[in-house]
Amino acid sequence: MISVEEIISKLKEQFGDKFIRYYKKRDKRYFANVEKDAVKSMVKFLIDNFDARFITISCVDNGTDFEMVYHIDVGGGNVLSLRTIVKKEESSIDSIAEFLPAAQWIEREISDLFGVKFEGHPDPRRLLLPFELPEGVHPLRKPMEGVIPKDQRPSVEMLITKGQPLEIAPPLARRREELKLSSQLPTTAVVEDALKEVHEIVKETGFDKEAGYDWEKKRLRYK
Amino acid sequence: MPEYVAFWGCYIPARMPNIEAASRKVFEVLGVSIEELEGASCCPEPVISKLVARKLWTALAARNIALAEAKGKDIMTLCNGCYETLFEVNHMLKEDAELRNEVNQVLSGIGKKVEGKIEVKHVVEVLGEDIGIEKLKEYVKRPLRSLNVAVHYGCHLFRSAKPDDEDVWKKPRLLEELIRVTEANLVEYGVERLCCGYPARQANVEFSLKNRLHVKLKNMRESNADCIVLACPACYIQFELGQTELRRYVKETFRIPVLHIMELLALSFGISPDEIGIKLHRIPVKNVLEKVKI
């Protein structure tokens, strides 16, 4: 029988960068972090090529994202769980039910309870919630909230965006000049290369992900 | 004369240029050479960021320390919060080789490294120790004899590498000594050591104002303080802005002027109030100036 390590090696070979990393938590329990857009193909690859059996999907709402965990029995009592992140702003992922009928109900259940849409699901009707419940009500879905306390969010956004929680605004710059001070100090707020270094550190320490910072919009993903 | 890299922090340049102006004037008079820390980021602040993101807090502080190390000069802070962060991280990196390696691993991505070669000093140490209290007295041209001053130390001024009373109280005592240099009267009000409430306002403004600031202000007024003198811009905000905000919660009105120690020294050195932007105070300092006949 093929070992789990060999299966994982085949997955890595087949999916390259889409397979991020794997770790063994304890005997017979393997976890792999994978990219969202490759989950469907990975599950299919496991089912088609190995003696694998789909068990179920777990969904965890961590505030800003959902973590979807696809549990697959890969033989010999070993369970490989593929973990991927679904951003709450998107709240959708490809359905695996089109080739795995056993996933139909669990995807409908997650859809009901968390409001995650499974694209391509053959029968996406409600499963657990009463039909009279208004659209958009999902009992286990938490509000869009990250770890930064409300009052601190503007400062944290500024800290990541500019390396400083406060800016020297034009009226204050004028007052500084009246006091014969330079209008700005040579901080990360004005020295671009220095700001790039701060951004590198923010990424390297993983604070951008932890705080839920959107680099394109230059703000936190929650208000 | 001593040379330092000035770490101005965020609040002083962006909200209180009066403190920066007073400091630069005082250093000019004393002949202290200060260099800017090009590319400095926020220290970062020592309460929320330290708790929420300790790895980031350590790495950003280490980067600021690395910038100063490259200049080969000690860091001087004018803010208790910046002092807490930079002093603590500098101390940890010197003492803990494993942490230093971890942090240098992060810094290696931006071509920087901390070696533990410099010291981080609060401005009260620079003035009180490196220059010296007796030397400072020579520069006092306008003694503030009639002024009653309530000192507020600020919690982070008690940060120390050694857990003994003498070291823990060294900087607060230096702040008192610096006030005495100006010949102002230090009044005792009993709750000097109590926090101003600034950190608590991040979670609960009402608690911070009623249970911390109000307690301090009542005692300061009862002791006939003409002004509050401190060494931290965060405490400065809490005392200046907080006195206005407090009206929402209590029936009393307080209008006690708030001065940073560098402003008090500047006034006693004979520097004109206009030159140091004394008019920028939210709570007018007029009564202080009248009392010392400026």
Question: How many angstroms separate the CA atoms of A118 and A82, rounded?
Answer: 17
B95 near B54, Cβ under 8 Å? no
Q: Please tell me the total number of residues recorded for chain A in this structure.
A: 223
| Residue from the list A155, A178, A186 with its beta carbon closest to the beta carbon of B38 | A186
**Three-class SS of residue B169?**
coil
Quick one: pLDDT at residue B55?
93
Q: Does A198 touch chain B (CB under 8 A)?
A: yes
Summarised one tens digit per residue, pLDDT across range A159-187 is 999 999 999 999 999 999 999 999 999 99
In 3D space, the residue among B33, B24, B79, B76 whose CA is nearest the CA of residue B265 turns out to be B24
Q: What is the dihedral of CA B242, B243, B247, B251, to 10 degrees?
A: 130
**Domains along chain A?**
4-119 (3.30.460.80), 150-220 (no CATH)
Q: Does A63 touch chain B (CB under 8 A)?
A: no
Tell me the pLDDT of chain A averaged across its residues. Answer: 95
Q: How far is CA B73 from CA A132, A187, B6, B48, B116, in A?
A: 71, 18, 10, 28, 12
Contacts A168 to B, Cβ<8 Å: 13-14
User: How far is the alpha carbon of B163 from chain A, nearest alpha carbon, in Å?
Assistant: 31
Q: Does the domain spanning B136-291 belong to CATH 3.40.630.10?
A: no
- Taking CA atoms, what residue in A is nearest to B204? A151
Say how many CB pairs under 8 Å bridge A and B: 112
User: How far is the alpha carbon of B139 from chain A, nearest alpha carbon, in Å?
Assistant: 22
Per-residue tokens: B128: 């009180």
Q: What is the dihedral of CA B122, B126, B127, B128, to 10 degrees?
A: 90
User: Residue B47 pLDDT > 80, yes or no?
Assistant: no
Half-sphere exposure of residue A76: CA atoms within 13 angstroms, side-chain side = 13
Question: How many angstroms separate the CA atoms of A126 and B283, rounded?
Answer: 62
Contact A159 B39 (CB under 8 A): no
- With both helix axes pointing from N to C terminus, report the angle between A192-204 and B54-71 in degrees, rounded to the nearest 10: 140
User: How far is the alpha carbon of B277 from chain A, nearest alpha carbon, in Å?
Assistant: 7
Contact B41 A147 (CB under 8 A): no
Query: Which of A160, A167, A197 to mutate to probe the B interface, most B CBs <10 Å?
Result: A197
Categorize the per-residue pLDDT at A15 as very low, low, confident or very high, splitting at 50, 70 and 90: very high
- Are the folds of B3-122 and B136-291 the same? no
Q: Give domain limits for chain B.
A: 3-122, 136-291
| Residue from the list A149, A166, A180 with its beta carbon closest to the beta carbon of B15 | A166
CA angle B26, B11, B142 (to 5 degrees): 25
Q: Token match 């669990």: residue?
A: A106
User: Residue B236 pLDDT > 90, yes or no?
Assistant: yes
| Residue from the list B17, B112, B276 with its beta carbon closest to the beta carbon of A176 | B17
Q: Does A170 touch chain B (CB under 8 A)?
A: no
Cα A117 to chain center, whole Å? Answer: 15
Q: Token match 């630069």: residue?
A: B24
Contact B21 A181 (CB under 8 A): yes
A42 near A8, Cβ under 8 Å? no
Pairing of strands B148-152, A65-73: unpaired
CATH node for B3-122: 1.20.1050.140
Summarised one tens digit per residue, pLDDT across range A104-120 is 999 999 999 999 999 99
Residues 18 to 57 of A: which have CB under 8 A from any B CB?
none
Quick one: pLDDT at residue B44?
93
ipTM (interface predicted TM): 0.92
Summarised one tens digit per residue, pLDDT across range A128-163 is 999 899 999 999 999 999 988 888 899 899 999 999
Query: Which of B11, B45, B56, B99 to mutate to probe the A interface, most A CBs <10 Å?
Result: B56
- Taking CA atoms, what residue in A is nearest to B51? A148
Tell me the pLDDT of chain B averaged across its residues. Answer: 95
Categorize the per-residue pLDDT at B144 as very low, low, confident or very high, splitting at 50, 70 and 90: very high
Q: Does A178 touch chain B (CB under 8 A)?
A: yes
Dihedral sign, Cα of residue B189, residue B193, residue B199, residue B204: negative
Q: Does A177 touch chain B (CB under 8 A)?
A: no
A122 cis-preceded (ω within 30 degrees of 0)? no
| Residue from the list A168, A180, A193 with its beta carbon closest to the beta carbon of B14 | A168
Q: Does A220 touch chain B (CB under 8 A)?
A: no
B126 near B32, Cβ under 8 Å? yes
In 3D space, the residue among B239, B250, B249, B221 whose CA is nearest the CA of residue B282 turns out to be B239
Contacts B17 to A, Cβ<8 Å: 172, 175-176, 179, 181
Contacts B14 to A, Cβ<8 Å: 164, 166-169, 172
User: Residue B49 pLDDT > 80, yes or no?
Assistant: no
Quick one: pLDDT at residue A51?
84
Q: Token match 């100063």: residue?
A: B68
In 3D space, the residue among B87, B96, B95 whose CA is nearest the CA of residue B43 turns out to be B87
Contacts 24+ apart (CB under 8 A), B290-293: B291/B146, B291/B147, B291/B226, B292/B142, B292/B144, B292/B145, B292/B146, B292/B147, B292/B267
Contact A193 B41 (CB under 8 A): no
Summarised one tens digit per residue, pLDDT across range A22-75 is 999 999 999 999 999 999 999 999 999 998 999 999 999 999 999 999 999 999
Q: Does A159 touch chain B (CB under 8 A)?
A: yes
B260: β partners: B230
